């Protein structure tokens, strides 16, 4: 057992912008995909059977269009922090070598620092393409907020 858990999912993503079915992990040859509700079910199974009811620390999407409020809300009970892009990501994906080098050099860094370092490394690697860290603990509060 580890003290901290992170899961990074890499492949094509659709979010809510492109496909009404909320697809991700789209494999074009042969055509297979997973939708957000199937992912949520799988992550809740991991939470309850592997993590003893505890959320994973970081859930990352190295996939296009996954940094949306709707996606974050669906997955709010599975992780503490979600890292994802609101837009199209370059084909190279995240700079895993730099990210893992920093993590092995500073293994004591907390989840927020690791999320910041992932985003910082990504921004310098891609020349500023979007990537955000979302604290999923605030999703209920965000969705209850009303104007006026």
Strands 6-10, 56-62: pairing kind: parallel
72, 15 in Cβ contact below 8 A?
no
Q: 99 or 26: which carries more pLDDT confidence? A: 99
Q: How much of the chain exceeds pLDDT 70, in percent?
A: 89
56, 6 in Cβ contact below 8 A?
yes
pLDDT tens track for 56-97: 999 999 998 899 998 999 999 999 999 999 988 888 889 999
Q: 19 or 51: which carries more pLDDT confidence? A: 51
pTM (2 decimals)? 0.90
């Amino acid at each position: 057992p580890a003290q901290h858990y992170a899961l990074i999912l890499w492949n094509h993503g659709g979010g809510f912008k492109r496909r009404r079915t909320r697809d991700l992990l789209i494999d074009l040859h042969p055509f297979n995909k997973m939708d957000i509700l199937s992912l949520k079910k799988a992550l809740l199974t991991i939470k309850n059977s592997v993590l003893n009811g505890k959320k994973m620390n970081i859930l990352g999407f190295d996939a296009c269009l996954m940094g949306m409020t709707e996606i974050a809300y669906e997955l709010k009970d599975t992780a503490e922090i979600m890292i994802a892009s609101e837009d199209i990501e370059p084909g190279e994906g995240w700079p895993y070598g730099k990210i893992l080098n920093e993590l092995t050099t500073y293994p004591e860094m907390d989840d927020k620092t690791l999320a910041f370092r992932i985003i910082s490394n990504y921004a310098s690697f891609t020349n500023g393409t979007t990537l955000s860290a979302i604290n999923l603990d605030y999703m209920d509060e965000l969705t209850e907020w009303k104007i006026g």
